Amino acid sequence: MHGPYTYRVDEADLASAGRHFFRRKVFQRPMNYLVIAIIGLAIVLVALDLFEDGALRLSTLLVVGLGIPLIWLIPYLLAPVIVRRQFRQSAALRDENQLEFDEEAVRFTNQRGHARIPFHELYAWSETDRMILLHQTEAFFNPIPKASMGDDYLLLVSALEEAGIRRF
């Protein structure tokens, strides 16, 4: 058994984790089809403008110049706002937690109770520069600050990989 490791997630780290999650989602199916469709629409608009008028219209320039970059900016602009709001609304996210794990499962404990999650029930895992994210579903994850575990976070990563949990 490894742990217990005591931690508290802060708002900035959770916002970074949300940015990481949204960045991945924007460029996965079906969102990547939307990106391709918008780029295709931009190409058609440019071609029609050049064919009909020999010059680009303001509306075309706005779609190409603002619309396409906004897709890439969604994770950086929208995700932190959403996640910070969730952090402020949820007392559980602000609680102090303890984490323990072995080769079969991870255990979370706080003043509200405890949960044992077998590794094989995890959907995936991912990481940011400061957090390990244990995804119970595609959109729900348990954030764990790496600093709270010291170098032992590598033991958790190793246990996840040995259990065959895919990296998201």
**Left (φ > 0), alpha (ψ -120 to 50) or beta: where does 13 sit?**
alpha
More confident residue, 129 or 33: 129
CA–CA separation, 144 and 127 (whole Å): 9
Confidence of residue 101 (pLDDT cuts 50, 70, 90): very high
* pLDDT value of position 26: 64
Lowest mean pLDDT among 7-21, 67-81, 114-128: 67-81
Contact 167, 24 (CB under 8 A): no
Q: Is the pLDDT of residue 125 over 80?
A: yes
Token pair 């303890």 is found at 98
Q: Report residue 12 as tokens.
A: 């900035």
CB atoms within 10 A of CB 122: 22
CA–CA separation, 100 and 76 (whole Å): 32
Instruction: For domain 2-10+91-162, give its CATH number from 3.90.1640.10, 1.20.140.10, 2.130.10.10, 2.30.29.30.
Output: 2.30.29.30
Q: What's the chain's average pLDDT? A: 89
Domain boundaries, the chain: 2-10+91-162, 14-89
* pLDDT value of position 50: 86
